[in-house]
Amino acid sequence: MTYPLLEARDISRTFSPHEDLIGKVVRTALRQPIPAHVRALSNVSLALHTGEVLGVVGESGCGKSTLGRILAGILQPSSGSLAFQGTPFSAMDPLTRASTFLKIQMIFQDPMSSLNPRKRVSDLIAEAPLVHGLLDPKDRDRFVHDALTRVGLDPQTQSRFPHQFSGGQRQRINIARALAVNPEILICDESVAALDVSIQAQILNVFMALKEQGDLSFVFISHDLGVVEHLCDRVAILYLGQIVEVGTVDALFQAPQHPYTQALLKEIPRIGAGKRRFNPIRGEIPSPLSPPSGCPFHPRCPHSTPECTQRMPGLQEVGHEHLAACHLLHGTPSHSLTELSK
Ligand code: SF4
């Protein structure tokens, strides 16, 4: 049996507001209610396969960055589990768990805040492989030279500090730093969103080149469906912490099934679309502090029925490797996303 490279099983994550002792005493004295918990993710199941680029798409606040951090081991899920090649992280001993999480590296949106401004680029790149015993100190210079060349940066710049680079160059340094520990998975969280459009294209080309080399798998988190269509093999659409549709890029872009996906796709600017007016999705994403009952999309859905306000739709198979959660669809109920993506 072949297992996915990385698999999230029924991951949920809630955040509780921090309350110190004084705050608790004041709240109790004033008879104020206990602060509500934020449910950022609800029962999310996903599988990433070797060599695959999996896109995770949704509006701001839908939980996609939380999901990325959980997949990278930076955040713990409140419930559910994460498995690497079929072995749950919870079943690994601490050393194995740490070395396995080293195979999963994350690249963040803001390239400057991800880099220590006091360190030279050579130190930033060589630090992790030296600490983890992956690099012999005597090979350091050649290693940094090769790492910078791989991401299209001039190796002569290795003694500079991060502030001496442009935004796009800093993101290349972040990519070089992530690749320095020989990862198997890169989690890219809006990694091109903060860059100018021309620089975005350069960084996307770096990702495309890494993808073509075939020894890396990606989780590409973005709100930009145009970029996702260009780069990804499969896409999961996240709405208010839940997956509402997942499928191959071809299936999802040519025959979107969920009304939310359909609305998102209508908003992609296309050359030749003329001066058509855009029809934004009505309303705003509801607060995760008080999510709507039933289908989370019902307050904004043009097809909402009374059933939608009462009952949560489950994911169902609507095509080959294509699942969606909507009462209007009549596919085969599915309880496991990962089963279908094998
Ligand atoms: Fe719209 Fe109802 Fe489908 Fe939700 S279940 S997407 S509200 S039609």
pLDDT tens, residue by residue, 106-138? 999 888 888 999 999 999 999 999 999 999 999
Task: List, for residues 6-64, the tens digit of each pLDDT value.
Answer: 999 999 999 887 777 888 888 788 877 776 788 899 999 999 999 999 999 998 888 99
Q: Are 96 and 39 in contact (CB under 8 A)?
A: no
Residue 211: its pLDDT value, please? 85
**Residue among 230, 229, 231, 271 nearest 253 (CA):** 229
Cα–Cα distance measured from residue 218 to residue 210, given in angstroms and rounded to the nearest whole number: 10
Mutate to test the pocket of ligand 1, among 304, 305, 310, 329 (most ligand atoms within 8 A of CB): 304
**What is the structure's pLDDT at 180?**
94
Give the highest mean pLDDT range of 54-58, 148-152, 263-267. Answer: 54-58
What's the mean pLDDT in 259-271?
A: 80
Binding site membership of 262 for ligand 1 (Cβ less than 6 Å): no
Please answer whether residues 45 and 243 qualify as being in contact, where contact means their C-beta atoms are separated by less than 8 angstroms. yes
Q: Is the CB of 300 under 6 A from ligand 1?
A: no
What pLDDT is attached to residue 82?
96
Amino acid at 327: H
pLDDT exceeds 70 at position 250: yes
| Residue 97 near residue 84 (C-beta atoms within 8 A) | no
Quote the CA–CA distance of 65 and 211 in Å, as a whole number.
22
Tell whether ligand 1 has an atom less than 6 A from the beta carbon of residue 327: yes
Cα 219 to averaged position of ligand 1 atoms, centre (Å): 27
Domain extent listing, the chain: 8-17+37-103+185-202+212-340, 119-183
Ligand 1 atom with minimal separation from the 302 CA:
1
Mutate to test the pocket of ligand 1, among 244, 318, 327, 329 (most ligand atoms within 8 A of CB): 327
User: Per CATH, which fold does 8-17+37-103+185-202+212-340 belong to?
Assistant: Rossmann fold (3.40.50)
> Quick check: 303 and 328 in contact, CB under 8 A?
yes
Residue 232 has what pLDDT?
94
What is the C-alpha separation between 295 and 301, in angstroms, rounded? 10
- Ligand 1 atom closest to residue 296's alpha carbon, by position in its atom list: 4
